[in-house]
Amino acid sequence: MRLRTLLLCWLGLYCFLGIASAQPPVIIDKPILWNDYREELMTEYARAHYGMDITRITPRAVVVHWTAGPTWESAFWTFYHEAMSDGTLNVASHFIVDRDGTIYRLTEETALNRHIIGYNWCAIGIENVGGVGGAEDLTEAELAANVELIHYLRQKYPTIEYVFGHYQQDIARESGLYLEKVADYYAFKTDPGAYFMGRLRTALVAEGLKFWPE
Ligand SMILES: [Zn+2]
């Protein structure tokens, strides 16, 4: 009898955990400006940098960033308009995670967004609010939200194999995913810091995702 009770408890806990982990994270849609002009600029960017005629991606990687700004709104408004001052596609990320772990979705998950040179053709971007002045100050709530969000994306897009920080853009070339047609087009990056990526790796590596050592 005692064994039966124990088994039932175990089964109950297992189901509870199974259901809990299957729950998608709460995501708040907060779309940036999206129109034919943005699609046109996306097409131009994809042709110039990747030699591809695409505006949507098949996700192969998730790239983690920090905003280097104090609020999610400051990042949102940076990404909001279609074009940069030079008339090319504006930078944008698919998600922003606020310091309290709130997840905002800015575009379609498979939109081609400009957030990391060489990988935009296949990478979903997550921006985390913080990193002002290069400080490795992302919060526990941001870490938990990134774990949930990446888990959700991996379940939804089994084509996702890699997770790396923006600062790992060079070593991530080992994936074979790096592609850039414009010579000497490069920007040095430190976001989102090795400490944050190390903890993400510990939390997610069991899911079969590939990380690089921090
Ligand atoms: Zn970045």
How far does residue 201's CA lie from ligand 1's centre (Å)?
A: 18
Q: Tell me which DSSP letter residue 75 carries.
A: H
**What CATH number did the domain enclosing 193 receive?**
3.40.80.10
Q: With respect to residue 148, please indicate whether it lies within any of the assigned structural domains.
A: yes
Residue 57 Cα to ligand 1 middle (Å): 19
The residue behind tokens 């979903």 is 124
What distance in angstroms lies between residue 13's CA and the mean position of ligand 1's atoms? 39
Supply the range of the domain harboring residue 184. 27-207
Task: Find, among 63, 47, 64, the residue nearest to 55 by Cα.
Answer: 47
Question: What's the total number of domains in the chain?
Answer: 1
Q: What separation in angstroms does the CA of 11 have from each of 130, 136, 204?
A: 41, 41, 24
Residues of the chain with pLDDT below 70 are 1-22
Residue showing tokens 């790992």? 168
pLDDT at residue 23, as a whole number = 74
Residue ranges with CB less than 5 Å from ion ligand 1 = 65, 166, 191
What's the 66 CA to ligand 1 centre distance in angstroms?
6
State the distance from the centre of ligand 1 to the C-alpha of 172, rounded, in angstroms: 14
For ligand 1, the distance from its centroid to the CA atom of residue 7, given in whole angstroms, is 48
9 found inside a domain: no
Q: Alpha-carbon distance 204 to 31, whole Å? A: 28
What is the Å distance from ligand 1's center to 24 Cα?
25
* DSSP category for residue 33: P
Give me ligand 1 centre to Cα 186, in Å: 12
165 within a domain of the structure (yes/no): yes
Alpha helices, DSSP H, located in the chain: 2-22, 36-50, 72-80, 140-156, 194-204
Residue 107 lies in a domain: yes
3 CA to middle of ligand 1, Å?
53
Identity (one letter) of the amino acid at 198?
Answer: G
Centre of ligand 1 from the C-alpha of residue 173, in Å: 16
Tell me whether residue 20 is in a domain: no
Tokens, residue 25 = 């994270």
pTM of the model: 0.89
Question: Does the residue 14 lie in any domain?
Answer: no
Rounded to the nearest angstrom, the distance between the alpha carbon of 18 and the centre of ligand 1 is 33
* pLDDT for residue 24: 85
Residue 3 lies in a domain: no
Dist. CA 191 → ligand 1 center (Å):
5
Check: CB of residue 196 under 8 Å from CB of residue 138: yes
Q: Identify the pLDDT of residue 22.
A: 54
Q: Flag whether 152 is in a domain.
A: yes
